[in-house]
């Protein structure tokens, strides 16, 4: 049982999405399943979203699997900037 007075080291909020994507190469269609997981990290004391000094504000992971394969893999793209300012209004953990 956890101590209700203890604080986590970090709070996080995630968004996940996925889709099939295909490409035609030499009259043959190759399909892949893609998913992305975007994580936003927050300081548990100030409740504010964490940013790197260089401006990156989210951690991105992608999952890729060929349609004819049972195995896929997760790839961490690391810290990224919110280049389209899609998540600009998400400033604190309580904003969710």
Give the pLDDT confidence score for residue 8 in this predicted structure.
66
Tell me the whole-structure pTM to 2 decimals: 0.71
Q: Give Dmax (Cα) for the chain.
A: 62
Six-digit token pair at 16?
């996940």
Residue with tokens 């900037």, as numbered in its chain: 81
The H or E element spanning position 42 is strand 28-42
Q: How confident is the model at residue 1 (pLDDT cuts 50, 70, 90)?
A: very low
Once rounded to an integer, what is the mean pLDDT over residues 1-28? 75
In a 3-state reduction of DSSP, which class is residue 95?
helix
Mean pLDDT of the chain: 83
């Amino acid at each position: 049982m956890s101590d209700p007075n203890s604080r986590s080291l970090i709070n996080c909020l995630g968004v996940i999405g996925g889709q099939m994507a295909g490409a035609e190469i030499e009259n043959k269609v190759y399909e892949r399943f893609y998913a992305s997981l975007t994580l936003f990290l927050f300081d548990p004391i100030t409740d504010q979203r964490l940013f790197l000094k260089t401006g990156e504000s989210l951690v991105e992971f992608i999952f890729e699997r060929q349609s004819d394969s049972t195995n896929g893999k997760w790839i961490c793209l690391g810290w990224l900037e919110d280049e389209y300012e899609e998540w600009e209004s998400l400033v604190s953990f309580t904003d969710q």
